[in-house]
C-alpha cells in the first residue's frame, strides 16, 4: 500500500464473491463516501458475468459529483489474479445456490424441525458448513500463496466456522469476521432510552456495549450511554413490552417482513438469564433448544418473529439481478449512502488513520479464559495501525457458558469432519445440535437426504456416502 503526500491511501482490495448484488454494492457505496482511501478493487466470482457487471457499475461511480474518492474496479478471472498484491481481502460468497439452501432450511420441516434462518447452527447450518468449508480451505491456501500479508475480512455464514477454517488452514492469516447483528441491539437500546427516559438524538456509536459469545449467539453484559447504566432502563423496557413485543414506529412489522421481529425472544432471554441477548431474534431462537422458540410455526408467531422462507430469498435475488442489469445499463442510478457496515472504518483503523473499537470474530487468544484456545469467538476489538487486538473479557458468565459451549464443541467437530474428510463426524455434530429432537434412525435418514440434496457442491470425499 502506498501513502500519498495528501494522506490518501492507494489500496488494492481483492473481493472474493465480487459478483454479489448485496455486500459488494454496499462496499462500493461506503468506499465512495470515504475521502481518505482510493485504489483498485479486483472482483473475483465464479459467476464471471456478475463480477464484470459490478466492475462496470463501480467504475461509473467515478463520474459522479457526490463521490469522495476514486476506485477502479476490474473483473479477475482467477484467485491468483485477484489476490496478488492485495492489501485487504473481502470474502462474501453464497456457498452453492438457494436451491441447496432450500433443502437446508425446509427438508427438516418434514421431520418437525423448524429453522428461522438455517445458515449457522441447526441441521441447515451444519450441512451448509459441509459445502462452505472446503471452499474456505481453497481460499485460505490461495491467500497464503498470493497475499499472505493481506488483512482478510469475512462476511460469509456460518461466520464462526468460515473464520475458523481460514486459521485452521493458514494459521498466520490476518483474518476477522464481521457481523452487524449487535448493531441492531444497540439501536434497540436507543429505543429504550427514548421510550423510558424520553432521551432523543442518540447515535448508535454512543451506546457502549461489552460483547460476549459466538457469532449469532452474542450477549451484552454491560451497556452504557454517556456513563449511564442501561440495564435498569432495558429491564423496564422489557417489562413494558414483554407480552406484546416492540416494533419501533416507522419500522416494518415482523408480520410483514421476514427479517424483522417484535424482540420477544430477546426479552424472554433477558428475563431468564439477566443479560441482553445481542443477536437478532431469528438467530437467537436457532441457538437455543428447539422446544423453546421453534417448536412449531404457532410458537414462532407467539414470539413475534418469522421463519424466513427460501422462496423469499430466491425472489429477492431475482429482483436484485434485474436491478444489477439496470444499473449496468445506466437505466437506474446507483444510490450512494452509508450502509452502517464497518469494514471501511476497520480498514482505516488498520491503516493507522484512527483507533476504532467494534465487535468482531477472532480466535480465542484469551478473550474468554473458560473457552478453549483458538475457537472463534465474538467480542469487541481495537483496530489500530496494522493490529486488531481483541478485548479480554475474562470468564464468560457461567449461565451463558452453558448455552454456548455445546455450539463451540459442535463447531469444532464440524471443522474436524471437513479437515479429516470424515462424514461420520459430521453426523455426530448433526445429532448433537440443540434443535435436533429425532431418534437416531430418523436423524440418519434426514442427514443422508440433506447430504444427497447438496452433493453437487460437496468435494468428492463426501459424495455417495451414507452414515
Residue 1 pLDDT class (50, 70, 90 cuts): low
- Which helix (H) or strand (E) segment holds residue 49: the answer is helix 48-60
- Give pLDDT tens digits for 237-248: 999 999 999 998
User: Is residue 20 packed enough to be buried (19+ CB in 10 Å), middle (13-18) or exposed (0-12)?
Assistant: buried
**For the chain, what percentages of helix, strand and coil (3-state, to nearest 5) are there?**
45, 15, 35
- Give pLDDT tens digits for 312-346: 999 999 999 999 999 999 999 999 999 999 999 99
Average pLDDT, the chain: 95
% of the chain at pLDDT higher than 90: 92
Residue 4 pLDDT class (50, 70, 90 cuts): very low
Asked whether residue 421 carries a pLDDT value surpassing 70, the answer given is yes
The answer to whether 359 and 211 are in contact (CB under 8 A) is yes
Give the lowest-confidence range in 185-189, 377-381, 416-420, 460-464. 460-464
Stretch 195-223: mean pLDDT, rounded? 98
Residue 250 pLDDT class (50, 70, 90 cuts): confident
CA–CA gap between residue 156 and residue 179 (Å, rounded): 9
What is the per-residue pLDDT for 465?
65
Stretch 368-378: mean pLDDT, rounded? 98
- Which helix (H) or strand (E) segment holds residue 433: the answer is none
Stretch 62-89: mean pLDDT, rounded? 97
The answer to whether 146 and 84 are in contact (CB under 8 A) is yes
Residue from 48, 72, 180, 283 carrying the catalytic annotation:
180
In the Cβ-directed half-sphere of 104, how many Cα atoms lie within 13 Å?
31
Q: Where are the domains of the chain?
A: 2-96+122-180, 181-308
The answer to whether 443 and 436 are in contact (CB under 8 A) is yes
- Which helix (H) or strand (E) segment holds residue 324: the answer is helix 310-328
Stretch 433-437: mean pLDDT, rounded? 94
CA-wise closest residue to 130 among 177, 97, 96: 96
Secondary structure letter of residue 368 according to DSSP: B
Regarding predicted confidence, which is higher, 466 or 138?
138
CA–CA gap between residue 183 and residue 287 (Å, rounded): 19
What is the per-residue pLDDT for 161?
98
Give the three-class secondary structure for 82.
Answer: helix
Residue 32 pLDDT class (50, 70, 90 cuts): very high
Asked whether the CA dihedral 267, 268, 273, 278 is positive or negative, the reply is: negative
Q: Does the active-site annotation cover 180?
A: yes
Give the three-class secondary structure for 428.
Answer: helix
What kind of fold does domain 2-96+122-180 have according to CATH?
A: Rossmann fold (3.40.50)
Strand partners, 368: 394
Give the three-class secondary structure for 97.
Answer: coil
User: What b/e readout covers 256-293, taking b as 16+ CB neighbours within 10 angstroms?
Assistant: eebebbbbbbbbbbbeeeebbbbbbbbbbbbbbebebb
Residue 258 pLDDT class (50, 70, 90 cuts): confident
CA–CA gap between residue 160 and residue 171 (Å, rounded): 15
The answer to whether 117 and 282 are in contact (CB under 8 A) is yes
How many CB atoms lie under 10 A from the CB of residue 154? 25
- Ranges assigned E (strand) in 241-319: 276-277
What is the per-residue pLDDT for 463?
59
Strand partners, 378: 361
The answer to whether 309 and 454 are in contact (CB under 8 A) is no
Secondary structure letter of residue 149 according to DSSP: T
Contacts for 453 with CB less than 8 Å, ≥ 6 apart: 100, 103, 107
- 423-432 vs 122-146: helix crossing angle, rounded to 10: 130
CA-wise closest residue to 152 among 360, 355, 340, 377: 360
The answer to whether 24 and 52 are in contact (CB under 8 A) is no
- Give pLDDT tens digits for 81-125: 999 999 999 999 999 999 999 999 999 999 999 999 999 999 999
Amino acid at each position: 500500500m502506498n501513502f500519498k503526500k495528501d494522506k490518501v491511501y492507494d489500496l488494492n482490495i481483492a473481493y472474493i464473491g465480487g459478483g454479489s448484488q448485496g455486500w459488494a454494492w454496499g462496499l462500493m457505496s461506503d468506499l465512495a463516501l470515504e475521502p481518505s482511501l482510493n485504489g483498485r478493487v479486483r472482483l473475483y466470482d465464479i459467476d464471471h458475468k456478475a463480477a464484470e457487471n459490478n466492475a462496470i457499475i463501480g467504475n461509473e461511480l467515478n463520474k459522479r459529483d457526490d463521490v469522495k474518492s476514486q476506485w477502479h474496479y476490474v473483473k479477475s478471472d482467477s484467485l491468483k489474479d485477484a489476490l496478488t498484491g492485495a492489501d485487504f481481502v473481502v470474502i462474501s460468497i453464497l456457498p452453492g445456490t438457494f436451491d441447496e439452501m432450500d433443502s437446508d432450511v425446509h427438508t427438516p420441516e418434514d421431520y418437525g424441525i423448524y429453522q428461522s434462518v438455517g445458515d449457522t447452527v441447526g441441521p441447515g447450518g451444519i450441512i451448509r458448513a459441509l459445502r462452505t468449508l472446503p471452499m474456505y480451505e481453497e481460499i485460505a491456501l490461495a491467500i497464503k500463496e498470493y497475499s499472505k500479508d493481506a488483512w482478510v475480512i469475512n462476511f460469509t455464514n456460518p461466520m464462526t466456522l468460515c473464520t475458523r477454517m481460514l486459521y485452521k488452514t493458514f494459521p498466520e492469516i490476518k483474518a476477522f469476521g464481521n457481523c452487524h447483528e449487535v448493531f441492531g441491539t444497540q439501536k434497540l437500546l436507543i429505543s429504550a432510552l427514548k421510550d423510558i427516559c424520553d432521551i432523543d438524538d442518540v447515535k448508535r456509536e454512543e451506546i457502549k456495549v461489552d460483547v460476549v459469545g459466538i457469532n449469532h449467539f452474542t450477549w451484552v453484559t454491560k451497556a452504557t450511554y454517556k456513563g449511564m447504566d442501561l440495564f435498569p432502563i432495558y429491564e423496564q423496557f422489557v417489562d413494558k413490552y414483554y407480552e406484546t413485543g416492540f416494533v419501533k414506529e416507522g419500522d416494518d412489522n415482523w408480520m410483514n417482513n421476514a427479517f424483522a421481529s417484535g424482540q420477544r425472544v430477546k426479552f424472554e432471554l433477558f428475563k431468564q438469564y439477566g443479560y441482553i441477548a445481542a443477536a437478532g431474534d431469528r438467530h437467537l431462537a436457532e441457538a437455543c433448544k428447539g422446544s423453546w422458540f421453534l417448536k412449531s410455526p404457532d410458537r414462532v408467531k407467539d414470539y413475534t418473529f418469522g421463519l424466513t422462507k427460501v422462496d423469499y430469498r430466491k425472489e429477492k435475488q431475482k429482483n436484485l439481478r434485474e436491478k444489477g442489469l439496470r444499473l449496468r445499463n445506466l437505466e437506474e442510478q446507483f444510490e450512494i449512502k452509508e450502509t452502517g457496515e464497518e469494514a471501511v472504518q476497520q480498514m482505516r483503523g488498520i491503516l493507522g488513520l484512527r483507533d476504532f473499537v467494534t465487535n468482531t470474530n477472532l480466535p480465542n487468544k484469551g478473550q474468554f479464559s473458560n473457552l478453549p484456545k483458538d475457537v472463534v469467538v465474538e467480542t469487541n476489538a481495537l483496530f489500530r495501525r496494522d493490529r486488531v487486538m481483541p478485548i479480554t473479557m475474562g470468564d464468560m458468565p457461567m449461565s451463558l457458558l452453558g448455552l454456548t459451549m455445546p455450539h463451540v464443541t459442535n463447531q469444532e467437530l464440524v471443522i474436524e469432519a471437513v479437515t479429516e474428510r470424515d462424514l461420520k463426524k459430521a453426523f455426530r455434530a448433526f445429532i448433537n445440535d440443540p434443535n435436533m429432537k429425532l431418534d437416531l434412525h430418523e436423524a440418519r435418514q434426514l442427514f443422508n437426504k440433506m447430504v444427497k440434496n447438496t452433493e453437487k457442491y460437496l468435494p468428492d470425499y463426501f459424495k455417495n456416502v451414507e452414515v
